[in-house]
Amino acid sequence: MESPKFSTLIKKKIFQIKWNEKINETEFFLYKKNVKSEIRSVEVSKKVSIISKIPEIRQLLISMQRDFGKNRGIVVDGRDIGTIVFPKSELKIFLKGSIEIRSYRRYKNIKTEEKKNISYEEVKKDLVYRDTMDINRKYSPLKKSINAIEIDNTFLNAEEQLNIINQLINKIK
């Protein structure tokens, strides 16, 4: 099983998550090399659902995420954030959108950021597979928290989504 190797990476600080104040973003390091772009790559995305089914890996990552968020005031995205990682957070937003639009957005991102030669249909197939795996996994599945505010972003651009979320944040301040 891969989890002992992964836990060793974390314990020996070979894998680290750090906040970069200069650019206001989280960065991920493996052997002191920033691997943020690799983590979001097509190759990694295809394996995420398989690896995330391993309870020991989920437990380690949940622990890291909770430690990272212990001082509050963070924005975190993930498929189990509102139900498992931060079940008592002040504001939970569950973004959803049509599979076609989500696939198209991911496709555009891959083409521009990763410069990969991939078809829209392949991206869509991978996204459907990942959704199915994550919804049906036994430990820490993808599901909407009871008290999450659902936003269907199918027909919203990034700015419109941000405006809605800012309004929700301002309501709890």
What pLDDT is stored for residue 4 in this prediction? 45
Q: Whole-number mean pLDDT of the chain? A: 86
Segment 103-122, tens digit of pLDDT: 999 999 888 887 778 999 99
Flag the least confident range among 11-20, 87-96, 111-120, 129-138: 11-20
What pLDDT is stored for residue 5 in this prediction? 58
CATH code, domain carrying 99: 3.40.50.300
How many CB atoms sit inside 10 A of residue 42's CB? 15
- How many domains are there within the chain? 1
What pLDDT is stored for residue 36 in this prediction? 83
pLDDT at residue 1 tops 60 = no
How many CB atoms sit inside 10 A of residue 46's CB? 13
**Interatomic CA distance for residues 140 and 130, integer angstroms:** 14
Residue 34 sits in which domain range?
3-172
**46 three-class SS:** helix
Residue 15 pLDDT level (bands cut at 50, 70, 90): confident
Q: Which long-range contacts (CB under 8 A, 24 or more apart) does 4-12 make?
A: 4/56, 6/56, 6/57, 6/60, 7/56, 7/60, 10/60, 10/64
